[in-house]
Amino acid sequence: MKELFGWGGVNSYHLPFISRTSPRMPYDPDSIKALLDDRVARYNSPEFIESDPIRLPHRYTALQDREIMGLLSATLAWGHRKSILRSGERLHELFAGEPYRFVLEHREQDLRSLESFVHRTFQATDLLYFIAFFKQYYSEHHSLEQAFSRWIRPEEEAVAKGLIGFHRLFFSLPYAPERTRKHVATPERKSACKRLNMFLRWMVRKDNAGVDFGLWNSIRPSQLICPCDLHVGRVARKLGLISRHQNDWQTALELTSRLREFDPADPVKYDFALFTMGVSNEF
């Protein structure tokens, strides 16, 4: 037996050592919760920000700047994190450090400056459509919050309808490029919606750790769905939290349902533990 998978620091409980090739361990909810709570306490801290895409919207103080850069940063959040951060910094430069002002006041020559932007398969065509949507939306609304929350009834357990409604709203402009649809997911296509769920975590979760912003009030943290990607899914399967083999919407629901057993009011706080344990190869 190795304490906490071979790591020190907490002496009150033990779990068997698990390697990448180990089979799924028997589900022990008390030990799993203790492990995850310990890792949340460790990783949900300002030190987490520097190497995470949430660093990009943290550069701003205005609500709309954080929303715009938050959604764009979350959309770019696949691939190597250093590359994601470089692309986000490039957007900051292209927007002259004022995303909201750029969205509302840009001129044609300003848009031409975006034509060289590319992050993996996210290209200038996609960025220009994001800018067009933001301009249309913010000309009528104060915050992106309503773009999600208007579709969610207070009694609903999860944000599924909010994600579906946002996807339809986002692509409601008549000139929406077909290629951009692959960058904005929806549960209607059975996607896990990892990047949108991460963006919602940033905007909705409220605590005193200083990582997530907690700017929105009409969506409850209990309604959030845990972002589920390769790293989160691998760790969650090793811990026996999920049984499905694919990372899709049903898997994200299954994982969040299990995490609600540990904290019904704030299940997505465990994203800090699952993701960082996976990406730092602690398993």
Taking only the tens place, the pLDDT of each residue in 72-117 is 999 999 888 899 999 999 999 999 999 999 999 999 999 999 999 9
- Rounded to the nearest 10 degrees, what angle do helices 81-94 and 63-75 cross at? 140
Give dist(CA 80, CA 3) in Å, integer: 31
Note the pLDDT of residue 7. 32
Give dist(CA 202, CA 211) in Å, integer: 8
In the predicted model, what is the mean pLDDT of the chain?
91
Alpha helix positions (H), 95-205: 99-105, 108-112, 124-138, 145-149, 160-170, 194-204
Closest CA to 197 of 218, 171, 170, 219: 219
Q: What is the 3-state secondary structure (H, E, C) of 189-242?
A: HCECCHHHHHHHHHHHCCCCCCCCCCCCCCCCHHHCCCCCCHHHHHHHHHCCCC
User: Which of the four pLDDT bands, split at 50, 70 and 90, describes residue 277?
Assistant: very high
pLDDT, tens only, 207-248:
999 999 999 999 999 999 999 999 999 999 999 999 999 999
Note the pLDDT of residue 50. 94
The residue count for the chain: 283
Mean pLDDT, rounded, for 16-38: 73
Give dist(CA 240, CA 28) in Å, integer: 8
User: Which of the four pLDDT bands, split at 50, 70 and 90, describes residue 199?
Assistant: very high
* Whether residue 4 has pLDDT greater than 60: no
Q: 7-21, 53-67, 211-225: which has the minimum mean pLDDT?
A: 7-21
Mean pLDDT, rounded, for 137-160: 96
What is the CA 205 to chain-centroid distance, rounded? Answer: 11
For 71, the token pair is 């959604």
Q: At 123, give phi and psi (nearest 5°).
A: -120, 180
Closest CA to 231 of 1, 72, 95, 43: 43
Name residue, tokens 């898997």.
251
Note the pLDDT of residue 279. 86
Q: Rounded to a whole number, what is the distance in angstroms from the first to the last CA of the chain?
A: 15
Give dist(CA 56, CA 70) in Å, integer: 7
User: Which of the four pLDDT bands, split at 50, 70 and 90, describes residue 28?
Assistant: confident
Give dist(CA 269, CA 145) in Å, integer: 20
Give dist(CA 69, CA 84) in Å, integer: 12
3-state DSSP call for residue 119? strand
* Whether residue 282 has pLDDT greater than 90: no
From residue 248, give the alpha-carbon distance in Å to each of 60, 152, 196, 226, 254.
32, 21, 13, 12, 10
pLDDT, tens only, 245-272:
999 999 999 999 999 999 999 999 999 9
User: Which of the four pLDDT bands, split at 50, 70 and 90, describes residue 2?
Assistant: very low
- What's the pTM? 0.91
* Whether residue 18 has pLDDT greater than 70: no
User: Which of the four pLDDT bands, split at 50, 70 and 90, describes residue 177?
Assistant: very high
Closest CA to 130 of 201, 57, 174, 71: 71
Closest CA to 195 of 57, 71, 49, 40: 71
Note the pLDDT of residue 26. 66
Note the pLDDT of residue 79. 84
Give dist(CA 161, CA 167) in Å, integer: 10
